[in-house]
Amino acid sequence: MSNQDFNLAQDPELLRDYLAECDELLQRVDQDLVALEEAAEAEEQKGSAELINRIFRAVHTIKGTSGFMGLDQIVSLTHEAEEVLNSLRKRTSALPQDRMRKTMDALLATHDHLRKMIGDVRDNTPRVYNLDSLIARLAELRKEVELDSDRPLLGEIMVVEKVISRSELHESLAEAAWDGRKLGEVLVEKKLASESQVREALGRQSGQAGVQETSRTIRVDTAKLDELLNLVGELVLERNRLTRLSSDLRNGNVQGEALTEALAESTGRLSSITEELQSASLRTRMVPIDAAFRRFPRLVRDIAHGLNKDVELAIRGEETELDKNVVEHLADALVHLLRNALDHGIEPPAEREAAGKPRHGCILLEAHQEGDHIVVSVSDDGRGIDPARIGRKALEKGLLSSERHAAIENNHTELLNLIFLPGFSTAEQVSDISGRGVGMDVVRANLEKINGVVELESVQGEGTLIRLKLPLTLAILPVLLVGVANETYALPLRSVQEIVRVPRTQTHRLGGGEMFRLRDRVIPLRHLHDAFRAESVATRQESRDLTVVIIGAAEKRAGVVVDRLLGQEETVVKPLGEYLGHVPGVGGATISGDGIVRLILDPATLVEEEEAA
């Protein structure tokens, strides 16, 4: 087994995590393969699809982590197994029993080989394996699955899944044929199926039913669990005290000042324990950012060698901790930033020498905490970014109008921010590393999902610095409560830039939208009463100044018009649930102390709507 010059013993912690993750995934794959065979025999198509997706994700994870470890033969084997599973995922009808049995035999054999190979890695006895016959067997099965693949009609899928009956399908097809409408529209109109059921069936028809999931497990230090248990014990004692106080109150044993004093003491103690419990609970979700950082030395080495560049990666602050979910969103963004730094930032050795720089380039990946945020930065000592060239490229690609280009051609910050536009690239040709125009757009999109901010600085000839400002956790959300008509909404506090009073005489209509100037920036306005169809106080009182909350998502800004400000509080975000689906402008909900459900607004969506307006 080739290890591509990677010494497995040089990072025992990385190897230990790799082996633990593979063991966990292989155990799950073993169980899921058996369950998949049983589900296929019972013709449970929906159950089979879920199992295939789960097995596919596990194999894909093993392939990715094995690639970072330099275990080429494991990568080759998992790649072929992944191809077979992907072909199965794209099917919307079951394989014939005999072919399914052959496929399961091959996948189980693959599982056994992987367990043996990973066991040899654990024993530090990696060897070269003869996998040709098994890989050829998997490749042949993949071809058979693809050749036998079909694309059943929407109606057939919904009948198989028992959404509609066969007779209802025939009636709906006749109605659709009569007036030229689509079957899905007819089914929804006749209330035989919901819009979500039709969308799901269409997704299965196109082979896109697999939904990507993030890992639901996390390794927690036992000391953190002990702290949680101690706090729960104190909470139980306080509950017993309140129970006794309630009993004394019913029996008339306590009243007046004694009751007030006892309640105040108990409430204060309960508040203290709750805060400590909240803090301890959050710490159990925190992982060192090293979990994301440790994969990048290998990535930088391989890409630099492929580009014939000499690059050194320095890492600082890898012990910084943040929420596990934030780390998962961060990893993809950092991959794109490092690729850009290697391909576009760091010059070839000869060019660096000609510019009076050392032959080897430097990239610094750093993390540190600032208040309730984590700042992750990627900096290089390369050629920097030419703002004028960025503007010209955006103009050539049709991403920027000539009028807009003329307006910002002397504003270096605005020009640099153009690299975040979807489809923007300065590469002359597409390569494995860059040229598709999806890198920086993905970075900004991933940051917006978690209310993060990306900042860019660059000096030509000296280098580039990109800062990612991330929330420390996604579990507890500090919010600003605002009122519109009789409703209360919550705005994530980390997205609130400032609050201003705006006289109506300073607002202007432009292109169907309303805006005002704040210092040297034009801010579009978003009226919440329009979005949620409520009668606003500001609407009824035309002479009244507008209360505007300036919100930001990445580098974008918008002003949210509200009737009143109600203060700040920390909330726990709850999803809206599948039955409500996605509500534009709403990121979730929370329950207030009086039991009322409040909507938490999504700043990214509100800002995007303003730009579209």
What DSSP line would sit under 524-567, residue for residue? EEEEHHHHTT---HHHH-TTSPEEEEEEEETTEEEEEEESEEEE
Long-range contacts of 211-215 (CB under 8 A, 24+ apart): 211/53, 212/57, 213/57, 214/325, 214/328, 215/328
Q: Which amino acid, residue 395?
A: L
The CA distance from 49 to 52, in Å, is 5
The CA distance from 453 to 330, in Å, is 12
Contacts of 579 (CB under 8 A, 6+ apart): none
CATH classification number, 8-147, choose in 3.40.50.1980, 1.20.120.160, 3.10.20.30, 3.30.830.10: 1.20.120.160
- Give the pLDDT score at 1: 46
Low-confidence ranges of the chain (pLDDT < 70): 1-11, 41-47, 90-95, 146-153, 174, 176-181, 203-218, 371-372, 423, 425-439, 451, 473-476, 511-512, 533-543, 553-555, 575-583, 593-594, 608-613
Residues 314-370: tens digit of each pLDDT = 999 988 888 777 877 787 788 888 888 898 889 999 999 999 999 999 999 999 887
Buried b (16+ CB within 10 A) or exposed e, 295-313: bbbbbbbebbeeeebebeb
- Helix %, strand %, coil % of the chain (to 5): 50, 20, 30
Q: Is the pTM of this model over 0.85?
A: no
Which class is domain 289-471?
Answer: alpha beta
- Give the pLDDT score at 367: 92
> Residue 347: is it exposed, middle or buried by C-beta count within 10 angstroms (0-12/13-18/19+)?
buried
Element (H, E) at 195: helix 195-205
Cα dist from 283 to 373, 562, 576, whole Å = 15, 35, 26
DSSP-assigned letter for residue 494? G
CB 480 within 8 A of CB 493: yes
DSSP-assigned letter for residue 574? B
> Residue 466: is it exposed, middle or buried by C-beta count within 10 angstroms (0-12/13-18/19+)?
buried
Q: How many residues does the chain have?
A: 613
Domain 476-612 sits in CATH at 2.40.50.180
| Residue 477 bridge partners (DSSP) | 571
The CA distance from 239 to 243, in Å, is 6
Alpha helices in 401-527 (DSSP H): 402-408, 412-416, 439-449
CB 527 within 8 A of CB 546: no
